[in-house]
Structure 1
Amino acid sequence: MKHLGKNMILSIICKVIMIVTGLIVQKYVLSSFGSDINGLYSSITQFLTYLILLESGIGTASIQALYVPLAKSNWDSVSAVIAATKQQYEKICRWFLMLLVGLAFLIPCIVASQVDALTAGLLTFISGLSSVITYAFLGKYVILLTADNRIGIIYICDSVLTLLSCGLRLIAIYMNQSIIVVQSILVATAVIKSIIIFAYVKKHYKKLDLKAKPNNQAILQRWSVLVHQIAGLVVNHTDVTILTVASTLKNVSIYSVYNYIYSNIAAIINTTFSQAILATFGRLATGEQKTYNKVFKLFESFFYCILFAILSTALIMTIPFVSLYTASVADTNYILPSVALLFCICQMMNLVRVPALITINAYGWFKETKKGSIIEAVINLSVSLALLPVLGMQGLLIGTICSYLFRTQDVILFVYRKCKIGWMSLMKNLLLNFSGFLILTLAFFFWKPIIVTGWIDWMLKAVGIFVLSIVMLFLLNYVPRYKECNILAKKIYLKYEKRL
């Protein structure tokens, strides 16, 4: 548990740096290169995401396979799993590179009438090179550090290199360099990251033997994980692909601005409350079920309070943010409150299942839950394609909401049934926190929307709304359960007093 707090703090810092620098760079890309280039880059990113299917669940399956041998310091078993992972990633790297070249020829054909073919092709290839470097050199080490609860070093490395990359890309834009030069800087930072992580692992894992006999049996769960990944790609990444093919790059650009906000909010929450603590829950899952359930319920209550405070603030402050962010862009209208609302509901439906997904990952219940992920993908595609001709972008978002709604209740009920946890506490948590979210958004999104005059004004009002959200949700959670909360607070205080 000693790395838990540090990992969570580092993950928040890392994600905030990534979001802020990403927004800054995207703003200058929009103003310097226009909505078409910004939309093209978003489309390329989504197409590259499909190539990640080649990874076929190896990462998640390998992490899950490492929990027990790392807990027992069995380095022969650890080395065998990492050797198998290394072997598979080398195969993936070769296939990824071949498909990347093919994609570099395909995308210019799709956007031929909107962007120069050579620019589209080179941008595609350069954007995918970072993934090639990851599979060739970095992937196996990231898996080891994640499973061993040392993911903090990755967060530190990412934070520093992201700041460096942002500065260099802004300098390139200021010097009127092409979008190709601007994106090439990301490849250079990927190489630097690989060197740093390699040196760290070499120093701290002297017992690791990459030449050990690969234990491919240990990562057989990869195929069940792959089903989840395919479904996740369909649900989370088809909207941009559909808009690229069936609409314009300007609409893709509008979608990407709102998606950047909410996907990064989801990324912060997932990184902080999922990735950073997954190894801790993985270790707990090897112990008594009663202990796991107690920690799970405590975590779930805390998580929902923070989640709904963040989502309340996000929805209220989205339109003021977009109005400032796109003020210098005149080629299309980005102010769409209905899109902001639908994106927020999407992430709400998606993120309330995070505690349940952590449990599924901790216990390795991938095979048992893959059927629901397939149904989720089918719902998403069918509803989205049916509503696209009628509602456009909003129809795609409604399709995503419908699929999330099904899948979220599916995984939560599965985990509660499997772990033998009573579901009344869950219903109470969701009802109390959603009530607070509803009150706040009715007041400041629908009735009296927030108006801002500049970035400092926006930041001050965002902090104010977040503090108000936290206070309201804390009171809503505390007052009906003050006896339970007081008992818990006393237990935490006694534990802390003993350490002193």
Structure 2
Amino acid sequence: MSTRAVILKNISANLLLQLITALGGFILPPLIVVTYGSATNGMLASIKQFIAYLTLLEAGIGAAAVVALYQALTAQDNQLRNRILAAAHHFYRISGWLFAVALLILAILFAWLTHTEISASLTFYMVLIMGAVNILDFFFFGSYRALLTADQKTYIISAIQAGSIFVNIVVCYWLIRNGYSILTVQFISTLIQASKFLLYRHYVKHHYHNLNQHYDKHNAYKLQQTWDALTHQLTGLLIFSSPLVLITFFLSLKDASIYAVYALIFGAIKMALQSLSQGMQAIFGHSLTTDIQRTRQNFCRYNRLFMCFLGWVYTCTGLLLAPFIQLYTRNMTDANYHQPVLAALFLLVGIIENSRIPSMTMIMAAGRYKDTKPQALLEAALNITCSVCFIQIWGSAGILLAALISFLYRSSEMVHYTSKHILSLPCTRAYLLWLTVFATIAIILTIGWHPVNSISVHTFIDWIKLGFITGLSTAIPFGILLILIYRRPAQ
């Protein structure tokens, strides 16, 4: 299969996954708020973030295994492939047992923490049920995911996951509408999500011959940079999971629910942008060792395409967000979800944060976990320190200000590292591309804000019509920009 076909399949499948995930995110939380209350929605969002912390027990196994598997798959060395998978599977199982113990401790602590706002027994069982899927992932799928990722077959992961999420949305919607308890809804949801592991196992067993994950400690493969990859996962998870954790500690579950609604919207946008990088890590990982000049050229074109797409997406978001929030939260009356300051800060943070995706993809493809570990630690220290200080002054907005500071540092540093230390290219063009795209976003938002937001929007059909017109109009300047810069040489 050609490289272009692989990229197209990976991106298409991932886009389908993100669309279905976003669909569930936009349908279920409002229904949960209306049916069970904002406190319950805030509890669910916070539990997800706490559980995300516990997945650090993966200890960088997956990232290290993917990099190691590039060599084995390229050389078609099944024996080396099996040794790497056996090592990964062995450490995943150890991590799975640790995760199970940590999950029980979390259930007890979180039930105590939130008992004044919601039933302690409900919270306890919700944590255990929601974490059960992750336990299965550790024991049964972790090594398979690494294999499919390294073999440029993430479209398999995305397609199966998209199917399970779609079924989950339909079933949960029916259960909530018919008055079932939130505990029953989450239990059924967990069973549906767990079923996907059977499909993953069937595919891998059918398509990879002589697959053997038996761990022989006397002939065990030693995964390189496991702890360095762990550091990156730790810092990333601290940064991206800490907001709801801190809001739960310092503010309230209703504040967590408000933040979660905006995070849901911008998280969907982030996933759409990440779809453009789906499968690119494996492709760059293979080509870096065979044709560096072609890698430079392909990366520069990919980066320009990505930045223009980012500019268009966030321009549309900035123009259409206010009317969407009004429609989306019109039935959520037990908390104030109209937060213009939060919306503006989420927009700024999203632009800066996601500008790093191409550079981050290349760093991961090159396996440069150890070299970039100090920068990742500094970013996490900046983010957490500023968040703890700012949240006590500005509330949820302080969390976003802290993120803006740390992302400005880390995203610009990633561009510098990728250009200088991996591709041996000057940084000036990458930074100039940033400035050009950011300036275009600012100009269009300034010109288009009043005309777009002066239009009355009463239904989602009205909003879709407005979005269609806005999307076409804003696509013109970014399309022209892409045409002008896409085929410029890398040097």
Q: TM-score, normalised by structure 2?
A: 0.95
Cα deviation code 1:143-190 (max 9, x no counterpart): 111111111111111121111111110111011111111111222123
From 98, 102, 110, the equivalent of 1:99 is: 102
Residues 240 and 255, structure 1, Cα contact 8 Å, conserved in 2: yes
2:332 corresponds to 1:332:
no
2:475 corresponds to 1:460:
no
From 170, 176, 181, the equivalent of 1:178 is: 181
Cα deviation code 1:346-374 (max 9, x no counterpart): 11111111111111111100000000011
Residues 323 and 335, structure 1, Cα contact 8 Å, conserved in 2: yes
Alignment correspondent of 1:66: 69
Q: Distance in 1 between matches of 2:416 and 2:108?
A: 45
Q: Distance in 2 between matches of 1:319 and 1:374?
A: 35
User: What's the % identity of the aligned pairs?
Assistant: 26
- Is the partner of 2:37 in helix, strand or coil? helix
| Distance change (3 Å), C-alpha of 1:221 and 1:446 | farther
| Distance change (3 Å), C-alpha of 1:218 and 1:351 | farther
From 266, 273, 276, the equivalent of 1:273 is: 276
Alignment correspondent of 2:143: 140
Residues matched between the structures, number: 484
Residues 429 and 477, structure 1, Cα contact 8 Å, conserved in 2: no
How far has the Cα of 1:212 moved from its partner?
5.6
- Is the partner of 1:176 in helix, strand or coil? coil
- Is the partner of 1:345 in helix, strand or coil? helix
Alignment correspondent of 2:24: 21
How far has the Cα of 1:451 moved from its partner?
4.1
Instruction: Show structure 1 runs of 5+ residues with no match.
Output: 489-500
Alignment correspondent of 2:229: 225
2:476 corresponds to 1:471:
yes
Alignment correspondent of 1:493: none
Alignment correspondent of 2:157: 154
How far has the Cα of 1:276 moved from its partner?
2.6
- Is the partner of 1:287 in helix, strand or coil? coil
How far has the Cα of 1:387 moved from its partner?
1.6
Residues 129 and 190, structure 2, Cα contact 8 Å, conserved in 1: yes
Cα deviation code 1:115-153 (max 9, x no counterpart): 011111111111101101111111111111111111111
Q: Distance in 1 between matches of 2:481 and 2:435?
A: 10
Which residue identity is paired with 1:233?
L
Residues 416 and 423, structure 1, Cα contact 8 Å, conserved in 2: yes
From 234, 238, 255, the equivalent of 2:238 is: 234
How far has the Cα of 1:425 moved from its partner?
2.1
Instruction: Show structure 2 runs of 5+ residues with no match.
Output: none
Alignment correspondent of 1:440: 444
- Is the partner of 1:206 in helix, strand or coil? coil
Cα deviation code 1:266-286 (max 9, x no counterpart): 12222x123332211111112
Q: Distance in 1 between matches of 2:460 and 2:471?
A: 16
Alignment correspondent of 1:378: 381
Residues 92 and 135, structure 1, Cα contact 8 Å, conserved in 2: yes
| Distance change (3 Å), C-alpha of 1:463 and 1:447 | closer
Which residue identity is paired with 1:468?
S
Q: TM-score, normalised by structure 1?
A: 0.93
From 107, 111, 114, the equivalent of 2:114 is: 111
Alignment correspondent of 1:198: 201
Q: Distance in 2 between matches of 1:429 and 1:107?
A: 45
2:93 corresponds to 1:90:
yes
From 37, 44, 48, the equivalent of 2:47 is: 44
Q: Distance in 2 between matches of 1:246 and 1:380?
A: 16
Alignment correspondent of 1:498: none
2:252 corresponds to 1:248:
yes
CA RMSD of the aligned region, Å?
1.7
Residues 20 and 165, structure 2, Cα contact 8 Å, conserved in 1: yes
Structure 1 moving runs of 4+ over 3 Å: 212-218, 444-448, 476-479
